[in-house]
Amino acid sequence: MKALVLYGYGINCEHESKNAIEKSGGRADILHLNKVLDNPGLLEEYNMLFIPGGFSFGDDLGSGKVFANKMKFKLRDELEDFIKADKLVLGICNGFQVLVKMGLLPEPDFNQRVTLIGNDSGHYEDRWVVLKTNTKSPCVFSKGLEYLLAPVRHGEGKFIPNDDAVLEELKKNNQIVFQYTDKDGKLAGFPHNPNGSVLNIAGICDKTGRIFGMMPHPEAFNIIENCPYWIRGKVKEPMGLRIFKNAVEYLD
């Protein structure tokens, strides 16, 4: 893996993301969005594009919207070529918001079908959550995972589709990758579902499984001690790294 990790305009998880990739056996370069916009050919040097979390453009006009438009209207041709080349695209938190508003998820045709809006609680949520994995999903990043522990830290994480037809397609194609659950693996309301997402959706992929976005932060679970449950002896590994190890294995 050689990953391009974007930053700029309020993205603030780029170093944590690079660390997670490199601890998982990959390589990563951090580049400002403007550098890629000025030289789109840089994308050809990488086989994974990663848009990390943060608060790009202060979440003005809706979280991720401005960052998404910059990419959509200045990198569309290059992004289409990148996707056709069997490469990977990952967006976490603000990056997930960018992917859906750019129209790369759930279908990479640059038409927006879903969105992420303000949490039902009306405020920023910062807590650890339990995620149930859809083991039937084609998602490259979730292979071998039955569940995942990860923190959320967002103000606009409520996943909603444009209409029922979009939601049915997501279910039919197993594009719903992660759902928020309680400790017993059952779908539950707040605080287990920290934002009120429809069907407790925490992450989705495209039909190929190579484009993936999620609201929780697996890159933040890169050492056991990062998880508040480690002291109870229930955590045996930094589970967030599994997301990145799966990507590395896919690209080997």
pLDDT digits (tens, 9 = 90+) for 200-248: 999 999 999 999 999 999 999 999 999 998 998 888 899 999 999 999 9
Question: Looking at 93, 139, 205, 227, which residue is catalytic?
Answer: 93
pTM: 0.96
Strand-strand pairing, 88-92 and 211-214: parallel
Question: Looking at 154, 156, 217, 227, which residue is catalytic?
Answer: 217
CA distance 94 to 100: 10
Q: Is 156 a catalytic residue?
A: no
CA distance 117 to 42: 32
Q: Is 13 a catalytic residue?
A: no
- Choose the CATH number for 2-251 among 3.40.50.620, 3.10.100.10, 3.40.50.880, 3.40.50.1440: 3.40.50.880
Q: Determine the pLDDT at residue 56.
A: 96
Q: Is 217 a catalytic residue?
A: yes
Q: Does residue 212 contact residue 160 with C-beta atoms inside 8 Å?
A: no
Q: Count how many Cα atoms sit within 13 Å of the Cα of residue 109 in the half-sphere of its side chain.
A: 6
Query: pLDDT tens-digit profile of 5-18?
Result: 999 999 999 999 99
Question: How sure is the predictor about 61, in pLDDT bands with cuts at 50, 70 and 90?
Answer: confident
Question: How sure is the predictor about 192, in pLDDT bands with cuts at 50, 70 and 90?
Answer: very high
Mean residue pLDDT of the chain comes to 97
Q: Determine the pLDDT at residue 233.
A: 86
Question: Looking at 14, 125, 156, 219, which residue is catalytic?
Answer: 219
Query: pLDDT tens-digit profile of 165-182?
Result: 999 999 999 999 999 999
Q: Where are the domains of the chain?
A: 2-251
Map tokens 């590395």 to a residue: 248
Question: How sure is the predictor about 39, in pLDDT bands with cuts at 50, 70 and 90?
Answer: very high
